A = this chain, B = another copy of it.
Amino acid sequence: MTDAAQMPVVGMAGGGQLARMTQQAAIALGVHLRVLAGGPAESAAQVVTDVRVGDDRGLDDLLAFADGCDVVTFDHEHVPGEHIAAVTATGVPCRPGAPALAHAQDKLVMRDRLTALGAPCPAYAPIPADGAAEAVEAFGAEHGWPVVLKATRGGYDGKGVWVVREPADAADLVGDLVASGVPLMAEAFVPFRRELAALVARSPHGQGAAYPVVETVQEDGICVEVLAPAPDLSGDLRAEAQSLALRIADALDVTGLLAVELFETEGGGLLVNELAMRPHNSGHWTIEGARTSQFEQHLRAVLDLPLGSADLAAPVVVMANVLGGDKAAIYPRYLHVMAHDPAVKVHFYGKDVRPGRKIGHVTALGEDLAEVRARARHAADFLRWGSAMGEHR
């Protein structure tokens, strides 16, 4: 606690945009946010007064950072579980805890556990380093081609995932990956209609809250748009996705947010794709689009406060990621974007512009999906390119 008001200190390991946006929620609640960042120029470090500069995967820096926190949480999945356990052993609770987070850190651990829970998953198999190419070919022979090859640890935003079209492609790729020490697994390729995400929160008390299920639109493995709520989703599938996410959160003892990325298959069923245990790109729309933003919700959950309403604030909400284009000067583009659409909400993360990098997002709200989506797209494209998308694609 920091003061006479007894406001708690929440430590967040990682200085990216998720910690940055968490600071906006912390300011409202009066909660003291401390961030462990790699340097003072990182996205969150620019806007948080209590920044500790250090290595959030190093034990010493984590222990020093956690000292004085009432709870520690994370803006990514890359803090080693044994370090989280070590922090927990000092008496500072980590939320989510190391056992829960293991399922977001290792895709094979996740698949084994979800399968044991009866959660729907694609067929999968571990790929041993010895005889890896043969194992991939055997998996393809059994489950069909293409085969999806995944690094079990360390992937994000489409990195660490390879689609192997046919047996002849397997040998070289697998050989290179094994030689680089990448731990691998294979998954059946899922022909899907679209991708969905179910975002829930769970507190140490066991309270749960489910946001409306959203559709996520990906390009080149990167999320470019989120449509909330997922258009034309049947009530059955919506309920199934929300209860599945709440059930996983409960079974894995998740504290904080859990994002369950889902495939809606061509057959009309659901399969779990990935898990994330933190504020998630598929939930940025909640800042303006839900009664409680995912960032406030995450703080409430890790602090074991009662969870906030996850209700929609408008019938249709669309979030579009702003990716880096070819110019660094983003601010001059605000003139057009804001003049063109006085109601679109602009979020910039203070990150250097690199082509394809997520540097911000925009959110539009309204009644009509096509209109709201066009507004969000126009703003995101203009912030990226300095003109509308048509000229560039």
Where the two chains meet, the residues of A that have a C-beta atom closer than 8 Å to any C-beta of B are 1, 3-8, 20-21, 23-24, 26-30, 32, 45-49, 51, 209, 287-288, 291-292, 300, 305-309, 311, 313-314, 328-332, 334-335, 338-339, 342-343, 345-350, 352-353, 360, 365
Let me know if B309 and A343 touch, CB within 8 A: yes
* B residues near A26, Cβ cutoff 8 Å: 47
Let me know if A47 and B23 touch, CB within 8 A: yes
Contact of A335 among B46, B209, B306, B311 (CB under 8 A): B306
Given contacts A6-B328, A7-B330, 17 further A-B contacts (CB under 8 A): A4-B352, A5-B348, A5-B353, A7-B350, A8-B331, A24-B24, A28-B348, A29-B346, A29-B347, A30-B350, A49-B49, A49-B51, A209-B342, A292-B343, A305-B338, A308-B342, A313-B313
Given that A5-B329, A5-B330, A6-B331 are contacting pairs, would A308 and B338 also be in contact in the complex, using a CB cutoff of 8 Å?
yes
Let me know if B4 and A292 touch, CB within 8 A: no
Let me know if B342 and A292 touch, CB within 8 A: yes
Copies in the complex: 2
Let me know if A305 and B334 touch, CB within 8 A: yes
Let me know if A6 and B330 touch, CB within 8 A: yes
* B residues near A360, Cβ cutoff 8 Å: 30
Q: In the complex, what residue of chain B is closest to A7 when comparing beta carbons? A: B331
Contact of A30 among B1, B209, B348 (CB under 8 A): B348
Contact of A342 among B28, B48, B309 (CB under 8 A): B309
- Chain B CB count within 10 A is highest, among A26, A27, A292, A365, for A27
